[in-house]
Structure 1
Protein backbone atom coordinates (compact mmCIF):
# COMPACT_ATOMS: atom_id res chain seq x y z
CA UNK A 1 0.00 0.00 0.00
CA UNK A 2 1.51 3.38 -0.96
CA UNK A 3 2.51 5.77 1.80
CA UNK A 4 -0.19 8.37 2.36
CA UNK A 5 0.22 11.83 3.81
CA UNK A 6 -0.23 12.44 7.52
CA UNK A 7 -3.16 14.74 6.76
CA UNK A 8 -5.00 12.09 4.73
CA UNK A 9 -4.37 9.39 7.34
CA UNK A 10 -5.70 11.68 10.08
CA UNK A 11 -8.74 12.52 7.94
CA UNK A 12 -9.56 8.82 7.58
CA UNK A 13 -9.29 8.37 11.35
CA UNK A 14 -11.58 11.35 11.98
CA UNK A 15 -14.26 10.00 9.63
CA UNK A 16 -13.90 6.51 11.08
CA UNK A 17 -14.28 7.69 14.66
CA UNK A 18 -17.42 9.69 13.90
CA UNK A 19 -18.95 6.62 12.24
CA UNK A 20 -17.95 4.44 15.21
CA UNK A 21 -20.08 6.59 17.52
CA UNK A 22 -23.22 5.18 15.89
CA UNK A 23 -22.04 1.69 16.76
CA UNK A 24 -21.74 2.78 20.40
CA UNK A 25 -25.18 4.39 20.27
CA UNK A 26 -26.76 1.13 19.13
CA UNK A 27 -25.04 -0.73 21.96
CA UNK A 28 -26.48 1.76 24.42
CA UNK A 29 -30.02 0.86 23.31
CA UNK A 30 -29.63 -2.66 24.76
CA UNK A 31 -31.76 -3.49 27.78
CA UNK A 32 -30.09 -3.75 31.17
CA UNK A 33 -30.67 -7.51 31.35
CA UNK A 34 -29.30 -8.25 27.87
CA UNK A 35 -26.85 -11.14 27.58
CA UNK A 36 -23.54 -9.34 26.99
CA UNK A 37 -21.54 -12.30 25.68
CA UNK A 38 -24.36 -13.35 23.37
CA UNK A 39 -24.45 -9.84 21.94
CA UNK A 40 -20.69 -9.82 21.40
CA UNK A 41 -20.94 -13.21 19.66
CA UNK A 42 -23.76 -11.87 17.46
CA UNK A 43 -21.56 -8.92 16.50
CA UNK A 44 -18.75 -11.22 15.39
CA UNK A 45 -21.15 -13.55 13.59
CA UNK A 46 -22.75 -10.72 11.63
CA UNK A 47 -19.31 -9.28 10.88
CA UNK A 48 -18.23 -12.56 9.30
CA UNK A 49 -21.45 -12.77 7.28
CA UNK A 50 -21.00 -9.21 6.04
CA UNK A 51 -17.36 -9.72 5.09
CA UNK A 52 -17.43 -13.16 3.46
CA UNK A 53 -18.81 -11.89 0.09
CA UNK A 54 -15.81 -9.56 -0.20
CA UNK A 55 -13.36 -12.39 0.42
CA UNK A 56 -14.77 -15.19 -1.74
CA UNK A 57 -12.07 -14.77 -4.37
CA UNK A 58 -9.26 -14.84 -1.79
CA UNK A 59 -6.91 -17.78 -1.91
CA UNK A 60 -6.62 -20.02 1.13
CA UNK A 61 -2.91 -19.30 1.36
CA UNK A 62 -3.43 -15.54 1.53
CA UNK A 63 -5.93 -15.97 4.35
CA UNK A 64 -3.68 -18.26 6.37
CA UNK A 65 -0.71 -15.90 6.23
CA UNK A 66 -0.11 -14.02 9.47
CA UNK A 67 -2.71 -16.09 11.31
CA UNK A 68 -0.78 -15.80 14.57
CA UNK A 69 -1.08 -12.02 14.61
CA UNK A 70 -4.70 -12.17 13.52
CA UNK A 71 -5.36 -14.44 16.49
CA UNK A 72 -3.67 -12.00 18.87
CA UNK A 73 -5.62 -9.05 17.50
CA UNK A 74 -8.87 -11.01 17.38
CA UNK A 75 -8.77 -11.88 21.06
CA UNK A 76 -7.70 -8.38 22.05
CA UNK A 77 -10.63 -7.09 19.98
CA UNK A 78 -12.95 -9.54 21.77
CA UNK A 79 -11.77 -8.34 25.17
CA UNK A 80 -12.35 -4.73 24.19
CA UNK A 81 -15.81 -5.51 22.76
CA UNK A 82 -16.96 -7.10 26.03
CA UNK A 83 -15.75 -4.22 28.20
CA UNK A 84 -17.16 -1.71 25.70
CA UNK A 85 -20.70 -3.06 26.14
CA UNK A 86 -20.38 -2.82 29.93
CA UNK A 87 -18.97 0.71 29.96
CA UNK A 88 -21.32 2.21 27.35
CA UNK A 89 -24.40 0.89 29.12
CA UNK A 90 -23.22 2.24 32.49
CA UNK A 91 -22.02 5.72 31.46
CA UNK A 92 -23.16 8.65 29.29
CA UNK A 93 -22.12 8.08 25.68
CA UNK A 94 -19.81 11.09 25.51
CA UNK A 95 -18.13 10.25 28.84
CA UNK A 96 -17.45 6.64 27.80
CA UNK A 97 -16.05 7.81 24.47
CA UNK A 98 -13.86 10.37 26.20
CA UNK A 99 -12.17 7.56 28.13
CA UNK A 100 -11.91 5.44 24.97
CA UNK A 101 -9.96 8.30 23.42
CA UNK A 102 -7.17 7.81 25.90
CA UNK A 103 -6.08 5.21 23.30
CA UNK A 104 -4.07 7.65 21.13
CA UNK A 105 -2.05 8.79 24.15
CA UNK A 106 -1.47 5.17 25.16
CA UNK A 107 -0.29 4.46 21.62
CA UNK A 108 2.57 6.97 21.86
CA UNK A 109 4.68 5.04 24.39
CA UNK A 110 3.54 1.72 22.89
CA UNK A 111 4.78 2.79 19.44
CA UNK A 112 8.10 3.84 20.95
CA UNK A 113 8.55 0.53 22.83
CA UNK A 114 7.25 -1.85 20.14
CA UNK A 115 8.46 -0.17 16.94
CA UNK A 116 11.16 2.26 18.14
CA UNK A 117 9.23 5.22 16.77
CA UNK A 118 10.71 8.57 17.66
CA UNK A 119 8.28 10.77 19.52
CA UNK A 120 8.32 14.31 18.18
CA UNK A 121 7.54 17.32 20.32
CA UNK A 122 4.39 18.15 18.28
CA UNK A 123 2.97 14.61 18.55
CA UNK A 124 3.63 14.46 22.29
CA UNK A 125 2.15 17.92 22.80
CA UNK A 126 -0.98 17.08 20.80
CA UNK A 127 -1.42 13.83 22.68
CA UNK A 128 -1.00 15.42 26.10
CA UNK A 129 -3.33 18.33 25.32
CA UNK A 130 -5.89 15.89 23.94
CA UNK A 131 -5.75 13.83 27.10
CA UNK A 132 -6.13 16.98 29.21
CA UNK A 133 -9.24 17.65 27.17
CA UNK A 134 -10.49 14.17 27.99
CA UNK A 135 -9.95 14.81 31.70
CA UNK A 136 -11.81 18.11 31.46
CA UNK A 137 -14.74 16.32 29.86
CA UNK A 138 -14.80 13.55 32.44
CA UNK A 139 -13.97 15.64 35.54
CA UNK A 140 -13.32 12.41 37.44
CA UNK A 141 -14.18 12.51 41.13
CA UNK A 142 -13.82 8.79 41.66
CA UNK A 143 -12.86 5.76 39.59
CA UNK A 144 -15.66 3.20 39.37
CA UNK A 145 -15.87 -0.13 37.55
CA UNK A 146 -17.45 1.47 34.47
CA UNK A 147 -14.53 3.89 34.09
CA UNK A 148 -12.07 1.03 34.53
CA UNK A 149 -13.92 -0.98 31.86
CA UNK A 150 -13.69 1.99 29.49
CA UNK A 151 -9.98 2.28 30.21
CA UNK A 152 -9.51 -1.40 29.29
CA UNK A 153 -11.23 -0.61 25.99
CA UNK A 154 -8.74 2.21 25.41
CA UNK A 155 -5.79 -0.15 25.92
CA UNK A 156 -7.27 -2.74 23.55
CA UNK A 157 -7.87 -0.10 20.88
CA UNK A 158 -4.29 1.14 21.18
CA UNK A 159 -2.80 -2.36 21.00
CA UNK A 160 -5.00 -3.42 18.09
CA UNK A 161 -4.15 -0.38 16.00
CA UNK A 162 -0.42 -0.81 16.53
CA UNK A 163 -0.49 -4.56 15.80
CA UNK A 164 -1.86 -3.81 12.34
CA UNK A 165 1.76 -3.43 11.26
CA UNK A 166 2.40 -7.09 12.03
CA UNK A 167 -0.20 -8.19 9.49
CA UNK A 168 0.77 -9.25 5.94
CA UNK A 169 0.85 -6.26 3.61
CA UNK A 170 -0.80 -8.12 0.73
CA UNK A 171 -4.00 -8.84 2.63
CA UNK A 172 -6.91 -6.55 1.89
CA UNK A 173 -8.84 -4.62 4.51
CA UNK A 174 -11.76 -7.05 4.10
CA UNK A 175 -9.51 -10.06 4.66
CA UNK A 176 -8.00 -8.45 7.75
CA UNK A 177 -11.37 -7.70 9.29
CA UNK A 178 -12.74 -11.14 8.43
CA UNK A 179 -9.84 -12.96 10.06
CA UNK A 180 -9.93 -10.73 13.14
CA UNK A 181 -13.53 -11.76 13.76
CA UNK A 182 -13.27 -15.42 12.71
CA UNK A 183 -10.39 -16.25 15.05
CA UNK A 184 -12.24 -14.73 18.00
CA UNK A 185 -15.55 -16.51 17.44
CA UNK A 186 -14.74 -19.75 19.29
CA UNK A 187 -13.85 -17.78 22.42
CA UNK A 188 -16.91 -15.52 22.17
CA UNK A 189 -19.18 -18.55 21.64
CA UNK A 190 -17.62 -20.21 24.65
CA UNK A 191 -18.27 -17.10 26.74
CA UNK A 192 -21.87 -16.97 25.55
CA UNK A 193 -22.41 -20.60 26.58
CA UNK A 194 -20.65 -20.02 29.91
CA UNK A 195 -22.90 -17.00 30.51
CA UNK A 196 -25.76 -19.46 30.88
CA UNK A 197 -28.58 -17.18 29.72
CA UNK A 198 -31.32 -18.41 27.34
CA UNK A 199 -30.49 -17.57 23.74
CA UNK A 200 -32.31 -14.42 22.64
CA UNK A 201 -32.03 -13.46 18.97
CA UNK A 202 -33.91 -10.17 19.38
CA UNK A 203 -30.67 -8.12 19.63
CA UNK A 204 -29.33 -9.69 16.41
CA UNK A 205 -30.42 -6.76 14.24
CA UNK A 206 -28.90 -4.28 16.70
CA UNK A 207 -25.69 -6.30 16.64
CA UNK A 208 -25.66 -6.25 12.83
CA UNK A 209 -26.03 -2.46 12.73
CA UNK A 210 -23.38 -1.96 15.38
CA UNK A 211 -21.08 -4.32 13.50
CA UNK A 212 -21.52 -2.48 10.21
CA UNK A 213 -20.50 0.85 11.74
CA UNK A 214 -17.57 -0.59 13.66
CA UNK A 215 -16.31 -2.45 10.59
CA UNK A 216 -16.17 0.81 8.67
CA UNK A 217 -14.19 2.33 11.54
CA UNK A 218 -11.85 -0.66 11.77
CA UNK A 219 -11.29 -0.62 8.01
CA UNK A 220 -10.31 3.04 8.09
CA UNK A 221 -7.92 2.26 10.97
CA UNK A 222 -6.26 -0.52 8.99
CA UNK A 223 -5.70 1.80 6.03
CA UNK A 224 -4.50 4.74 8.13
CA UNK A 225 -2.19 2.94 10.56
CA UNK A 226 -0.73 0.70 7.86
CA UNK A 227 0.24 3.78 5.86
CA UNK A 228 1.35 6.31 8.46
CA UNK A 229 3.39 6.50 11.66
CA UNK A 230 1.11 5.88 14.62
CA UNK A 231 2.70 8.53 16.82
CA UNK A 232 1.96 11.24 14.24
CA UNK A 233 -1.65 10.38 13.42
CA UNK A 234 -3.02 8.79 16.61
CA UNK A 235 -4.31 12.07 18.04
CA UNK A 236 -6.94 12.17 15.28
CA UNK A 237 -8.78 9.47 17.22
CA UNK A 238 -9.95 12.15 19.65
CA UNK A 239 -12.19 13.73 17.04
CA UNK A 240 -14.97 11.17 17.51
CA UNK A 241 -15.77 12.81 20.83
CA UNK A 242 -17.64 15.54 18.98
CA UNK A 243 -19.78 12.90 17.31
CA UNK A 244 -20.44 11.29 20.70
CA UNK A 245 -21.61 14.63 22.10
CA UNK A 246 -23.98 15.23 19.18
CA UNK A 247 -25.39 11.70 19.13
CA UNK A 248 -25.73 11.65 22.91
CA UNK A 249 -27.64 14.93 22.81
CA UNK A 250 -30.01 13.95 20.00
CA UNK A 251 -30.53 10.28 20.80
CA UNK A 252 -30.26 10.07 24.60
CA UNK A 253 -30.91 13.66 25.76
CA UNK A 254 -27.41 13.91 27.25
CA UNK A 255 -26.88 17.66 27.40
CA UNK A 256 -23.23 18.78 27.23
CA UNK A 257 -22.00 21.63 29.42
CA UNK A 258 -19.24 24.23 29.22
CA UNK A 259 -16.72 21.67 30.41
CA UNK A 260 -17.49 19.54 27.37
CA UNK A 261 -16.95 22.54 25.07
CA UNK A 262 -13.61 23.41 26.68
CA UNK A 263 -12.44 19.81 26.65
CA UNK A 264 -13.42 19.42 23.01
CA UNK A 265 -11.38 22.51 22.13
CA UNK A 266 -8.35 20.96 23.85
CA UNK A 267 -8.88 17.87 21.73
CA UNK A 268 -9.56 19.30 18.29
CA UNK A 269 -7.28 22.36 18.09
CA UNK A 270 -4.05 20.41 18.68
CA UNK A 271 -5.09 18.06 15.87
CA UNK A 272 -5.31 20.92 13.41
CA UNK A 273 -1.97 22.27 14.64
CA UNK A 274 -0.27 18.86 14.40
CA UNK A 275 -1.46 18.33 10.82
CA UNK A 276 -0.12 21.78 9.89
CA UNK A 277 3.26 21.14 11.54
CA UNK A 278 3.69 17.76 9.87
CA UNK A 279 2.78 19.20 6.47
CA UNK A 280 5.35 21.98 6.95
CA UNK A 281 8.06 19.51 8.00
CA UNK A 282 7.35 17.38 4.95
CA UNK A 283 7.70 20.39 2.64
CA UNK A 284 11.01 21.36 4.27
CA UNK A 285 12.36 17.81 3.99
CA UNK A 286 11.33 17.64 0.34
CA UNK A 287 13.02 20.96 -0.44
CA UNK A 288 16.19 19.84 1.37
CA UNK A 289 16.24 16.65 -0.68
CA UNK A 290 15.96 18.43 -4.01
CA UNK A 291 18.39 21.27 -3.23
CA UNK A 292 21.61 19.16 -3.28
CA UNK A 293 20.49 17.59 -6.54
CA UNK A 294 20.05 21.01 -8.09
CA UNK A 295 23.50 22.08 -6.80
CA UNK A 296 25.17 18.97 -8.20
CA UNK A 297 23.51 19.51 -11.57
CA UNK A 298 24.71 23.11 -11.70
CA UNK A 299 28.27 22.02 -10.78
CA UNK A 300 28.28 19.36 -13.49
CA UNK A 301 27.12 21.94 -16.05
CA UNK A 302 29.96 24.31 -15.09
CA UNK A 303 32.48 21.47 -15.39
CA UNK A 304 31.26 20.51 -18.84
CA UNK A 305 31.34 24.13 -20.02
CA UNK A 306 34.89 24.59 -18.77
Structure 2
Protein backbone atom coordinates (compact mmCIF):
# COMPACT_ATOMS: atom_id res chain seq x y z
CA UNK A 1 0.00 0.00 0.00
CA UNK A 2 1.36 3.43 -0.95
CA UNK A 3 2.22 6.01 1.70
CA UNK A 4 -0.64 8.26 0.54
CA UNK A 5 -3.20 5.47 0.92
CA UNK A 6 -1.85 4.72 4.39
CA UNK A 7 -2.26 8.41 5.25
CA UNK A 8 -5.84 8.43 3.98
CA UNK A 9 -6.61 5.29 6.02
CA UNK A 10 -5.19 6.93 9.16
CA UNK A 11 -7.25 10.06 8.49
CA UNK A 12 -10.44 8.04 8.15
CA UNK A 13 -9.67 6.20 11.40
CA UNK A 14 -8.99 9.48 13.18
CA UNK A 15 -12.26 10.96 11.94
CA UNK A 16 -14.12 7.83 13.05
CA UNK A 17 -12.64 8.24 16.54
CA UNK A 18 -13.78 11.88 16.56
CA UNK A 19 -17.30 10.94 15.50
CA UNK A 20 -17.53 8.19 18.13
CA UNK A 21 -16.20 10.59 20.77
CA UNK A 22 -18.83 13.16 19.78
CA UNK A 23 -21.55 10.52 20.06
CA UNK A 24 -20.32 9.54 23.53
CA UNK A 25 -20.22 13.23 24.58
CA UNK A 26 -23.78 13.70 23.31
CA UNK A 27 -24.91 10.69 25.32
CA UNK A 28 -23.14 11.90 28.46
CA UNK A 29 -24.54 15.40 27.90
CA UNK A 30 -28.03 14.05 28.55
CA UNK A 31 -27.05 13.55 32.20
CA UNK A 32 -24.00 15.71 32.92
CA UNK A 33 -22.89 19.31 32.44
CA UNK A 34 -20.25 20.03 29.76
CA UNK A 35 -17.77 20.97 32.50
CA UNK A 36 -17.85 17.47 33.97
CA UNK A 37 -17.52 15.87 30.53
CA UNK A 38 -14.52 18.07 29.68
CA UNK A 39 -12.92 17.31 33.05
CA UNK A 40 -12.93 13.54 32.58
CA UNK A 41 -12.08 13.70 28.89
CA UNK A 42 -8.96 15.79 29.53
CA UNK A 43 -8.11 13.85 32.71
CA UNK A 44 -7.91 10.63 30.68
CA UNK A 45 -6.17 12.30 27.74
CA UNK A 46 -3.35 14.02 29.62
CA UNK A 47 -1.38 10.93 30.77
CA UNK A 48 -1.86 9.31 27.35
CA UNK A 49 -0.47 12.42 25.63
CA UNK A 50 2.45 12.48 28.06
CA UNK A 51 3.13 8.81 27.30
CA UNK A 52 3.11 9.41 23.55
CA UNK A 53 5.40 12.41 24.01
CA UNK A 54 7.82 10.33 26.10
CA UNK A 55 8.00 7.81 23.26
CA UNK A 56 8.66 10.55 20.72
CA UNK A 57 11.64 12.36 22.14
CA UNK A 58 11.04 12.16 25.89
CA UNK A 59 9.14 14.35 28.32
CA UNK A 60 11.63 17.14 27.64
CA UNK A 61 9.64 17.79 24.46
CA UNK A 62 6.94 19.27 26.69
CA UNK A 63 9.26 22.07 27.82
CA UNK A 64 8.29 25.51 26.55
CA UNK A 65 9.47 29.11 26.64
CA UNK A 66 6.04 30.45 25.66
CA UNK A 67 3.69 29.72 28.60
CA UNK A 68 1.45 32.69 27.76
CA UNK A 69 0.89 31.39 24.24
CA UNK A 70 -0.08 27.96 25.58
CA UNK A 71 -2.36 29.56 28.16
CA UNK A 72 -4.12 31.52 25.43
CA UNK A 73 -4.49 28.47 23.20
CA UNK A 74 -5.69 26.41 26.14
CA UNK A 75 -8.42 28.93 26.96
CA UNK A 76 -9.49 28.94 23.31
CA UNK A 77 -9.57 25.13 23.39
CA UNK A 78 -11.72 25.31 26.53
CA UNK A 79 -14.21 27.51 24.69
CA UNK A 80 -14.17 25.12 21.73
CA UNK A 81 -14.88 22.07 23.88
CA UNK A 82 -17.56 23.74 25.96
CA UNK A 83 -19.48 25.18 23.02
CA UNK A 84 -19.35 21.99 21.00
CA UNK A 85 -20.40 19.70 23.85
CA UNK A 86 -23.21 22.09 24.73
CA UNK A 87 -24.25 22.20 21.06
CA UNK A 88 -24.30 18.41 20.90
CA UNK A 89 -26.87 18.33 23.69
CA UNK A 90 -29.12 20.78 21.82
CA UNK A 91 -28.81 19.61 18.21
CA UNK A 92 -28.90 16.37 16.23
CA UNK A 93 -25.42 14.93 15.80
CA UNK A 94 -25.37 15.42 12.01
CA UNK A 95 -26.50 19.04 12.29
CA UNK A 96 -23.80 19.90 14.83
CA UNK A 97 -21.18 18.16 12.68
CA UNK A 98 -22.26 20.05 9.56
CA UNK A 99 -21.99 23.43 11.29
CA UNK A 100 -18.58 22.52 12.75
CA UNK A 101 -17.29 22.05 9.18
CA UNK A 102 -17.33 25.86 8.95
CA UNK A 103 -14.12 26.07 11.01
CA UNK A 104 -11.74 25.99 7.97
CA UNK A 105 -13.82 28.73 6.37
CA UNK A 106 -13.25 30.95 9.39
CA UNK A 107 -9.53 30.13 9.18
CA UNK A 108 -9.47 31.44 5.61
CA UNK A 109 -11.13 34.72 6.50
CA UNK A 110 -9.26 35.30 9.77
CA UNK A 111 -5.80 34.44 8.42
CA UNK A 112 -5.69 37.82 6.68
CA UNK A 113 -6.14 40.14 9.68
CA UNK A 114 -4.52 37.80 12.22
CA UNK A 115 -1.58 36.38 10.24
CA UNK A 116 -1.14 39.16 7.67
CA UNK A 117 -1.69 36.59 4.94
CA UNK A 118 -3.19 37.63 1.65
CA UNK A 119 -6.43 35.77 1.02
CA UNK A 120 -6.87 35.04 -2.68
CA UNK A 121 -10.17 35.73 -4.39
CA UNK A 122 -11.23 32.09 -4.86
CA UNK A 123 -10.82 31.04 -1.18
CA UNK A 124 -12.55 34.25 -0.09
CA UNK A 125 -15.55 33.65 -2.34
CA UNK A 126 -15.63 29.95 -1.38
CA UNK A 127 -15.70 30.94 2.30
CA UNK A 128 -18.66 33.26 1.76
CA UNK A 129 -20.50 30.50 -0.12
CA UNK A 130 -19.66 28.13 2.74
CA UNK A 131 -21.22 30.50 5.24
CA UNK A 132 -24.35 30.50 3.11
CA UNK A 133 -24.31 26.72 3.63
CA UNK A 134 -24.09 27.26 7.39
CA UNK A 135 -27.13 29.53 7.23
CA UNK A 136 -28.99 26.84 5.29
CA UNK A 137 -28.27 24.36 8.09
CA UNK A 138 -28.96 26.77 10.96
CA UNK A 139 -31.87 28.59 9.24
CA UNK A 140 -32.10 31.72 11.43
CA UNK A 141 -35.71 32.75 11.85
CA UNK A 142 -37.05 29.31 10.94
CA UNK A 143 -39.57 27.70 13.23
CA UNK A 144 -37.17 24.90 14.14
CA UNK A 145 -34.20 27.18 14.72
CA UNK A 146 -32.38 26.51 17.97
CA UNK A 147 -29.80 28.39 19.97
CA UNK A 148 -27.64 25.29 19.65
CA UNK A 149 -26.78 26.28 16.08
CA UNK A 150 -25.22 29.56 17.20
CA UNK A 151 -23.37 27.80 20.00
CA UNK A 152 -21.77 25.36 17.54
CA UNK A 153 -20.87 28.28 15.27
CA UNK A 154 -19.07 29.70 18.32
CA UNK A 155 -17.23 26.38 18.66
CA UNK A 156 -16.22 26.60 14.99
CA UNK A 157 -14.86 30.13 15.48
CA UNK A 158 -12.88 29.05 18.55
CA UNK A 159 -11.47 26.04 16.68
CA UNK A 160 -10.46 28.31 13.81
CA UNK A 161 -8.58 30.53 16.26
CA UNK A 162 -6.90 27.42 17.63
CA UNK A 163 -5.71 26.44 14.14
CA UNK A 164 -4.53 29.97 13.39
CA UNK A 165 -2.46 30.14 16.58
CA UNK A 166 -1.05 26.70 15.78
CA UNK A 167 0.03 27.99 12.36
CA UNK A 168 1.60 31.06 13.93
CA UNK A 169 3.50 29.38 16.76
CA UNK A 170 3.69 25.74 15.69
CA UNK A 171 7.06 26.10 13.98
CA UNK A 172 8.60 27.30 17.26
CA UNK A 173 7.14 24.63 19.57
CA UNK A 174 7.21 20.85 19.69
CA UNK A 175 4.01 19.21 18.42
CA UNK A 176 3.39 17.27 21.62
CA UNK A 177 3.96 20.34 23.76
CA UNK A 178 1.26 22.12 21.75
CA UNK A 179 -1.11 19.18 22.23
CA UNK A 180 -0.28 18.71 25.93
CA UNK A 181 -0.89 22.29 27.03
CA UNK A 182 -4.01 22.68 24.90
CA UNK A 183 -5.36 19.75 26.94
CA UNK A 184 -3.89 20.77 30.31
CA UNK A 185 -5.56 24.20 30.45
CA UNK A 186 -9.12 22.89 29.82
CA UNK A 187 -8.49 20.30 32.53
CA UNK A 188 -7.41 23.01 35.00
CA UNK A 189 -10.39 25.22 34.15
CA UNK A 190 -12.87 22.34 34.39
CA UNK A 191 -11.27 21.20 37.68
CA UNK A 192 -11.84 24.66 39.17
CA UNK A 193 -15.49 24.69 38.05
CA UNK A 194 -16.28 21.02 38.71
CA UNK A 195 -17.58 21.43 42.32
CA UNK A 196 -20.40 23.62 40.98
CA UNK A 197 -21.54 21.04 38.41
CA UNK A 198 -20.62 17.65 39.89
CA UNK A 199 -23.08 14.79 39.63
CA UNK A 200 -22.13 11.25 40.78
CA UNK A 201 -21.79 9.03 37.69
CA UNK A 202 -23.41 5.61 37.48
CA UNK A 203 -21.08 2.66 36.66
CA UNK A 204 -22.04 2.73 32.96
CA UNK A 205 -21.13 6.41 32.73
CA UNK A 206 -17.53 5.71 33.76
CA UNK A 207 -17.08 3.73 30.54
CA UNK A 208 -18.29 6.76 28.64
CA UNK A 209 -15.97 9.20 30.41
CA UNK A 210 -12.91 6.99 29.93
CA UNK A 211 -13.90 6.08 26.39
CA UNK A 212 -14.30 9.73 25.37
CA UNK A 213 -10.76 10.50 26.54
CA UNK A 214 -9.26 7.48 24.77
CA UNK A 215 -11.12 8.26 21.55
CA UNK A 216 -9.90 11.87 21.68
CA UNK A 217 -6.26 10.80 21.94
CA UNK A 218 -6.81 8.13 19.28
CA UNK A 219 -8.23 10.72 16.90
CA UNK A 220 -5.29 13.05 17.49
CA UNK A 221 -2.76 10.26 17.00
CA UNK A 222 -4.30 8.87 13.81
CA UNK A 223 -4.71 12.32 12.26
CA UNK A 224 -1.10 13.17 13.10
CA UNK A 225 0.03 9.94 11.44
CA UNK A 226 -2.16 10.75 8.44
CA UNK A 227 -0.33 14.01 7.79
CA UNK A 228 3.01 12.24 8.16
CA UNK A 229 2.15 9.74 5.43
CA UNK A 230 0.14 11.86 3.01
CA UNK A 231 0.19 15.51 1.88
CA UNK A 232 -2.17 17.68 3.89
CA UNK A 233 -4.08 18.66 0.75
CA UNK A 234 -4.78 14.96 0.09
CA UNK A 235 -5.59 13.81 3.62
CA UNK A 236 -7.55 16.83 4.91
CA UNK A 237 -10.64 16.43 2.65
CA UNK A 238 -11.31 13.03 4.23
CA UNK A 239 -12.23 14.94 7.38
CA UNK A 240 -15.64 15.27 5.74
CA UNK A 241 -16.27 11.54 6.19
CA UNK A 242 -17.32 12.64 9.69
CA UNK A 243 -20.68 13.59 8.19
CA UNK A 244 -21.30 9.99 7.15
CA UNK A 245 -20.55 8.71 10.64
CA UNK A 246 -22.62 11.47 12.26
CA UNK A 247 -25.68 10.56 10.20
CA UNK A 248 -25.26 6.84 10.95
CA UNK A 249 -24.60 7.28 14.68
CA UNK A 250 -27.36 9.86 15.11
CA UNK A 251 -29.87 7.56 13.42
CA UNK A 252 -28.65 4.42 15.22
CA UNK A 253 -28.66 5.76 18.78
CA UNK A 254 -31.22 8.58 18.78
CA UNK A 255 -33.37 7.98 15.73
CA UNK A 256 -32.26 11.33 14.28
CA UNK A 257 -33.01 11.74 10.58
CA UNK A 258 -31.61 15.03 9.16
CA UNK A 259 -34.01 16.96 6.94
CA UNK A 260 -33.14 17.85 3.37
CA UNK A 261 -31.80 21.29 4.31
CA UNK A 262 -29.10 19.78 6.51
CA UNK A 263 -27.90 17.73 3.54
CA UNK A 264 -28.08 20.72 1.19
CA UNK A 265 -26.21 23.01 3.60
CA UNK A 266 -23.64 20.31 4.32
CA UNK A 267 -23.02 19.86 0.62
CA UNK A 268 -22.44 23.60 0.18
CA UNK A 269 -20.07 23.75 3.16
CA UNK A 270 -18.10 20.67 2.05
CA UNK A 271 -17.87 21.90 -1.55
CA UNK A 272 -16.53 25.25 -0.31
CA UNK A 273 -13.97 23.54 1.91
CA UNK A 274 -12.81 21.29 -0.93
CA UNK A 275 -12.49 24.29 -3.26
CA UNK A 276 -10.21 25.99 -0.73
CA UNK A 277 -8.16 22.78 -0.29
CA UNK A 278 -7.70 22.41 -4.07
CA UNK A 279 -6.65 26.04 -4.36
CA UNK A 280 -4.10 25.70 -1.56
CA UNK A 281 -2.70 22.57 -3.19
CA UNK A 282 -2.23 24.39 -6.50
CA UNK A 283 -0.53 27.29 -4.75
CA UNK A 284 1.78 24.89 -2.90
CA UNK A 285 2.71 23.11 -6.13
CA UNK A 286 3.51 26.40 -7.87
CA UNK A 287 5.64 27.50 -4.90
CA UNK A 288 7.84 24.39 -5.02
CA UNK A 289 11.38 25.05 -6.21
CA UNK A 290 12.15 23.61 -9.62
CA UNK A 291 15.42 22.00 -10.62
CA UNK A 292 17.02 22.39 -13.98
CA UNK A 293 19.27 19.90 -15.70
Q: How many residues align?
A: 283
- Any stretches of 5+ residues in structure 1 without a counterpart? 295-306
Q: Distance in 2 between matches of 1:159 and 1:252?
A: 32
Q: Hey, what does 1:104 align to over in structure 2?
A: 104
Q: CA deviation at 1:50?
A: 1.8
Q: Hey, what does 1:87 align to over in structure 2?
A: 87
Decide whether the 8 Å contact of 2:107 with 2:160 is kept in 1: yes
Q: Hey, what does 1:40 align to over in structure 2?
A: 38
Q: Hey, what does 1:299 align to over in structure 2?
A: none
2:209 to 207, 226, 230: 207
Q: Hey, what does 2:255 align to over in structure 1?
A: 253
Cα deviation code 1:189-211 (max 9, x no counterpart):
0110233x344374332122222
Cα deviation code 1:151-187 (max 9, x no counterpart):
2211111111111134454755443322221233222
Q: Hey, what does 2:182 align to over in structure 1?
A: 180
Q: Hey, what does 1:300 align to over in structure 2?
A: none
Decide whether the 8 Å contact of 1:87 with 1:147 is kept in 2: yes
1:117 matched to 2:117: yes
Q: Distance in 2 between matches of 1:272 and 1:284?
A: 18
Q: Hey, what does 1:25 align to over in structure 2?
A: 23
- Any stretches of 5+ residues in structure 2 without a counterpart? none
Q: CA deviation at 1:234?
A: 8.3
Q: Hey, what does 1:297 align to over in structure 2?
A: none
Q: Distance in 2 between matches of 1:180 and 1:131?
A: 27
Cα deviation code 1:112-158 (max 9, x no counterpart):
11111221233223323333333333333356432232122111111
What SS does the corresponding residue of 1:184 show, helix, strand or coil?
Answer: helix
Cα deviation code 1:54-110 (max 9, x no counterpart):
233624475233332222111211122122222101111111222222222221221
Q: Hey, what does 2:133 align to over in structure 1?
A: 133
Q: Hey, what does 1:153 align to over in structure 2?
A: 155
Decide whether the 8 Å contact of 1:127 with 1:235 is kept in 2: no
Decide whether the 8 Å contact of 1:66 with 1:167 is kept in 2: no
Q: Which moved more, 1:170-179 or 1:253-262?
A: 170-179
Q: Distance in 2 between matches of 1:31 and 1:168?
A: 32
Going from structure 1 to structure 2, the CA distance change for 1:201 and 1:47 (only over 3 Å counts) comes to: farther
Going from structure 1 to structure 2, the CA distance change for 1:36 and 1:267 (only over 3 Å counts) comes to: closer
Q: Hey, what does 1:63 align to over in structure 2?
A: 63
What SS does the corresponding residue of 1:125 show, helix, strand or coil?
Answer: helix
Q: Distance in 1 between matches of 2:12 and 2:126?
A: 15
RMSD between aligned residues:
3.9
Q: CA deviation at 1:15?
A: 6.3
Q: Hey, what does 1:302 align to over in structure 2?
A: none
Q: Which moved more, 1:27-36 or 1:268-277?
A: 268-277
Q: Distance in 2 between matches of 1:170 and 1:223?
A: 22
